[in-house]
A and B are shown apart, each in its own frame.
Chain A
Amino acid sequence: MQFTDIHQQLSARFGPAILRAEPQAIDPWIELAGGELTEICRFLRDEPALQFNMLNCITGVDYFEPDAKKAAAVAWQPHLEVLYHLSSLVRKHRLVLMVSLPRWQDDVPGRLPELPSVASVWKTADWHEREVFDLMGVQFVGHPDLTRILLPEDWLGHPLRKDYRPPHDYHGIARRTANAD
Chain B
Amino acid sequence: MPIERVDPELVEFDLRSDEMLINMGPQHPSTHGVLRLVLRTDGEAVADLTPNIGYLHRCAEKIGENLTPRMFVPYTDRLDYLASMNMNLGWALAVEKLLGFVPCQRLRHLRVLVCELDRIASHLVAAGCYGLDLGSFTPFVWCFREREKILILFEELCGARLTYSYIAPGGVMADLPQGWLKHCDEFLTQFEPVINDLHATLTSNAIFIRRTADIGLLSAEMAADYGCTGPVLRGSGVDWDLRRDGEAIYTRMYEGYQWEVIAQVNGQYPQDYPYPAVPKEAVLGDCWHRFYVRMLEVVQSMKLCRQAIEKYSQTSEVLSEPIKLRQKLTQGTAYLETEAPKGQMGFMLVSDGTPVPWRVRIRSSSFCNLSVSAELCRGCLIADVPAVIGSLDIVLGEIDR
Binding site for B on A (CB under 8 A): 25-27, 29, 53-57, 59, 61-62, 74, 83, 85, 89, 92, 94, 96, 122-124, 126-127, 135, 148-152, 159-160
Contact = CB atoms under 8 A, between A and B. Distances in A.
A56 B338 CA distance: 12
A135 B348 contact: no
Given A26-B98, A89-B240, A123 B62 contact: no
A62 B371 contact: no
A17 to B, nearest CB: 22
B59 interface: yes
Interface stretch (B40-48, B220-228, B289-297): B220-228
B57 A127 contact: no
Interface in B341-361: 344, 346, 348, 350, 352, 358-359, 361
B53 A57 contact: no
A92 B363 CA distance: 19
Contact of B332 (A25, A83, A89, A135): A25
Nearest to B375: A123
A123 B223 CA distance: 10
Contacts, number: 82
Contacts of A25: 332-333
A92 B361 CA distance: 23
Contacts of B62: 159-160
Contacts of A148: 54
- Residue among B53, B98, B238, B367 with most chain A CB within 10 A: B367
Interface in B188-246: 221-222, 224-227, 238, 240, 245
A78 B322 CA distance: 34
B56 to A, nearest CB: 9
A151 B54 contact: yes
Contact of B348 (A54, A57, A123, A124): A57
Given A27-B335, A124-B225, A61 B359 contact: yes
A57 B225 contact: no
A56 B359 contact: no
Contacts of B240: 89
B339 interface: no
Given A53-B225, A57-B361, A150 B371 contact: no
A149 B401 CA distance: 12
Interface string B107-150: 00000000000000000000000000000000000000000000
B77 interface: no
A26 B363 CA distance: 18
Nearest to A24: B332
Contacts of A56: 227, 337, 344, 346, 363
A59 B367 contact: no
Given A56-B346, A160-B62, A124 B335 contact: no
B384 interface: no
Interface in B296-347: 332-335, 337, 344, 346
B227 A55 contact: yes
